Amino acid sequence: MVLHLAQDVAWMLVLGVLQCLHLRLWTEHRRAGQWASGLLFGGVCILGMMDPFIDMPGVALDGRSVVLGIAGLFGGLLVAGIAALLAGGYSLWLGHADMLAGLVLVAACTTLGLLYRAAVARGWATLGALPLLAFGMLLQWIHLACLALLPEPIPAAQWTPMALSLLLIFTPATLLLGSVLQEGQRRDAIDLALRESEARFRSLLQDIPAVSVQAYAPDGTTRYWNKASEQLYGFSAEEALGRNLRDLIIPQEMREGVREAMEQMFRTRQAIPAGELLLLHKDGSRVPVFSSHAYVQARGRPAEMFCIDIDLSARVRAEAELRIAATAFESREGMLVTDPQQVILRANRAFTQSMGYTDAEAVGQTLALLQAGPDTATSFQLLQQALRSQGQWAGEIWSRRKNGEEFPQWVTINAVHDEAGGVSHYIATLVDITQRKAAEEQIRQLAFFDPLTHLPNRRLLMDRLQRALAASERNKRTGALLFVDLDHFKTLNDTQGHEKGDLLLQQVAQRLQTCVRDRDTVARLGGDEFLVVLEDLDAAAAHAAAHVKSVSEKIVAQLHQLYRLGNLDYNSTASVGIAMYSGQGTPAEELLKQADMAMYQAKAEGRDGLRFFDPAMQAVVNARAALEADLRQGLALGQFLLYYQPQVDAQGRVTGAEALLRWPHPTRGMVPPVHFIPLAEETGHILPLGRWVLQTACAQLVAWAQDPVLGRLVLAVNVSARQFRDPDFASGVLALLHSSGANPRRLKLELTESMLADNLDDMVEKMAALGAHGIRFALDDFGTGYSSLSYLKRLPLDELKIDQSFVRDVLVDPSDAAIVRTVVGLAHNLGLEVLAEGVETEAQKDFLARCHCHVYQGYLFSRPVPVAAFEAFVLGSAQPASVDEVKAA
């Protein structure tokens, strides 16, 4: 019996081993494993039942109690249920007399095993050797109890050996089988834990960001490639696995070194030292990494090299940025870094050099170091406000260097924020803008100021005038624009040189400024023209006008004062035109025109005075424009004539004539020369007109040359300054004489004193050129202009003409009489002829004769008359005197 039962125990051990082995096969399919276990346990029960130990009829002993109990304990409900069904089903199929007892045994042992399992699960029981022994013993007691249910009672003599055999063999067999299964379960649990651990580890490696992990075989073949590696090197795991490390991410120049290092590592099992490397990205770029290496030899697997690479791109970038920032910090601009309390932490060299502080002196100070002094406190406060509210500020600030010198800086300050949004630093850049400001000021001066007088120029004046007019429209207060023009400035400029002219303009500018208030504007328009804007005057026009008048009179008086121009004492006068405004929206340009017109009127009225603009002046201007148009047309249509006024000697003999222009206009009537000659000079029409006069005069001389009486006359022709200045004048006159055939000795050109202001050398040269051909020269209007002995001596003149203004009052005005005497004396001293014009009375003639002036021209003898009347006058009068006779007289 014992042997038989031991055979059952052997089956049980086989069962235990099989159970342990097959469970490993079903790790992925747990439910199927349970079915298989149930079938295994049930199968072993059936095997035992097929070959029972039968000691007496009706009593069949086998190991099903142990197998089913253990199935319940280790397999659970499904395993034990399947095994119990198989064992019970087989028992029913056998249909032996002990069938009922067998079924009870199956049910009871299975249930006991399940109960034990539940107790262990709840912690009420354990699975140690003793509990298993107790469990085994309990199973056998159940077994014995079931034997008591057999239909044929077991004889008492059989009970004891049978009970002992069951208890002594199956109880330890239960312990044995339980222990085998328990060990199997323990190993499975360890394996499971290991697998889970490895799975966790792999998933960790696989998904861990920023740590690139790869594994390589000894020959460099890639075995493992996590996601971070995909990102770092650009190769997907599919692309990388199976390829050689050296072809993948090792740059050409490093490949041999890597091969040798790996070879040594696998030989010596010593990991390659960690270090920074520049490896290859899929796109060919270089990837900076910190690479650590591990030699891994897992059980049952070939050795591998694990590489753990950390991307250093961000750090390399940060280092580059730091280097850039450090280079930028040492730029040519001053830079400061402060803490949130604006205490300077760092200052660059440009700052310390510009401010004159050493680095140590600057560090530890606050931004207030930039502030020049209390005067700039307001802008510094604004800076602080802007930093608080916006975190940045840019603007101009006056700073003071260590040596006390103040200078302007352009400062930009920006707050640097930390991750929490608070201010961690302030960064300030500073640029010395002294030179820029000087350049700006220079540009402003050039753009808006007259370089000679430093007064505002026309542009700035117009701007200020427009503002003044706009203000006047708003506040209804009046103002005035004064147009100040120096009289005879050109004469000074041309005779004394531009330096003197410039000195005069500068002094005029100074004097004008002393005549007005600070808020008024004095500007120079150009040349000798100045403008004064008097702003914010009385709202009542009459009061304002009275004030303007007094200011203008002050200006006229001031400008009349003697000037000291270097070594020259100079007298000048000015004419002032005034245009008032009173918020009526008069445009600035219009006001300027009005003041200009008023100034012209002041000049027309004798200069050295002032004149308010009057609308009637507009009519004058319009008339001027119309006259100019007529002049042009008159020239084209040949409307001009020459009249001739005789020049006679003391005996009443005609010595010559002055040719005088006449313009018999179809609608205007006879237009006097004083009306159109100045306009012709201004507009340039005098050139063709003068040429026509000379042509006509030459033609007349040629005509007279045929006559023995008229042929002895000298014809005087007026030449205007503009004409004479023409570089072609002399050659033109000679060409005319040549082409006409007129005798140059019969032509006398009358020059005026005003043209002496022009280039004297040029004038002398031209006169000499013409005089060489016999042409004579008379100086007209002598005594009215800039009379100077020095030029009288230099000019190759033949005659002085005493102006009619002196002759007119020569008998009543002692000073005129004195002038006449002086001029005659002067002429004689210089060896010049002298002619008095405007002689209207015998008394005047007598006086002149007493003064030794013996040639006259005037209404006393004849008015200017047409050529026919003149010829009749000559031929009807006493025999004309020759020039030489006159000279002799």
Ligand X SMILES: Nc1nc2c(ncn2[C@@H]2O[C@@H]3COP(=O)(O)O[C@H]4[C@@H](O)[C@H](n5cnc6c(=O)[nH]c(N)nc65)O[C@@H]4COP(=O)(O)O[C@H]3[C@H]2O)c(=O)[nH]1
Of 228 and 719, nearer to ligand X (C-beta) is 719
Kindly state whether residue 647 participates in binding ligand X, applying the rule CB under 6 A: no
Q: One symbol per residue from 125 to 164: x for binding ligand X (CB under 6 A), - otherwise; what is it? A: ----------------------------------------
3-class secondary structure, 54: strand
**Min CB(878)–ligand X separation in Å:** 19
Contact 313, 400 (CB under 8 A): no
Positions of E strands within 447-573: 478-486, 521-526, 529-537, 563-565, 568-570
145-153, 426-434, 526-534, 712-720 -> range binding ligand X (CB under 6 A): 712-720
386-394, 442-450, 717-725, 760-768 -> range binding ligand X (CB under 6 A): 717-725
**Min CB(840)–ligand X separation in Å:** 4
Q: One symbol per residue from 815 to 854: x for binding ligand X (CB under 6 A), - otherwise; what is it? A: ----------------------xxxx--------------
- The widest CA-to-CA distance across the chain, in whole angstroms, is 212
Q: How many residues does the chain have?
A: 889
Residues 720-749 that bind ligand X (CB under 6 A): 720
Of 572 and 862, nearer to ligand X (C-beta) is 862
The two tokens of residue 848 are 């002149």
**Min CB(754)–ligand X separation in Å:** 10
**Min CB(622)–ligand X separation in Å:** 24
Distance between alpha carbon 712 and the CA centroid of its chain, in Å?
Answer: 83
Kindly state whether residue 113 participates in binding ligand X, applying the rule CB under 6 A: no
* Phi–psi pair at 457, nearest 5 degrees: -90, -170
**Type of residue numbered 84:** A
Residue in 693, 698, 747, 775 binding ligand X, rule: CB under 6 A: 693
Kindly state whether residue 718 participates in binding ligand X, applying the rule CB under 6 A: yes
Q: One symbol per residue from 468 to 487: x for binding ligand X (CB under 6 A), - otherwise; what is it? A: --------------------
Positions of E strands within 120-192: none
Place of tokens 């339980």: 178
Distance CA 205, CA 237 (A): 13
Residues 659-678 that bind ligand X (CB under 6 A): 660-661, 672-674, 677
Distance between alpha carbon 755 and the CA centroid of its chain, in Å?
Answer: 57
Distance CA 596, CA 683 (A): 18
Of 11 and 644, nearer to ligand X (C-beta) is 644
Residues 703, 705, 707, 709, CA torsion sign:
positive
The two tokens of residue 56 are 């007496």
Of 109 and 714, nearer to ligand X (C-beta) is 714
Smallest Cα–Cα separation from 368: which of 388, 348, 383? 383
Distance CA 77, CA 111 (A): 9
**Min CB(690)–ligand X separation in Å:** 6
Count of residues of this chain found to bind ligand X when the rule CB under 6 A is applied: 24
Contact 566, 500 (CB under 8 A): yes
**Min CB(537)–ligand X separation in Å:** 43
Distance CA 74, CA 570 (A): 138
Residue in 42, 43, 178, 858 binding ligand X, rule: CB under 6 A: 858
Of 603 and 845, nearer to ligand X (C-beta) is 845
Q: How many CB atoms lie within 10 A of CB 683?
A: 16
Of 225 and 663, nearer to ligand X (C-beta) is 663
480-488, 504-512, 521-529, 714-722 -> range binding ligand X (CB under 6 A): 714-722
Query: Dihedral (C-alpha) 96, 102, 103, 104: value to the nearest 10 degrees?
Result: 140
Contact 202, 186 (CB under 8 A): no
Distance CA 13, CA 8 (A): 9
The two tokens of residue 181 are 């299964």
Residue in 371, 507, 552, 645 binding ligand X, rule: CB under 6 A: 645
Of 96 and 665, nearer to ligand X (C-beta) is 665
Q: One symbol per residue from 776 to 815: x for binding ligand X (CB under 6 A), - otherwise; what is it? A: ----xx----------------------x-----------
What H or E segment, with its residue span, contains residue 454? none
**Min CB(465)–ligand X separation in Å:** 39
Planar angle of CA 658, 664, 667, nearest 5 degrees: 160
Residue in 93, 124, 201, 859 binding ligand X, rule: CB under 6 A: 859
Of 304 and 780, nearer to ligand X (C-beta) is 780
Q: Which residues bind ligand X (CB under 6 A)?
A: 645, 660-661, 672-674, 677, 690, 693, 718-720, 750, 780-781, 804, 837-840, 857-859, 864
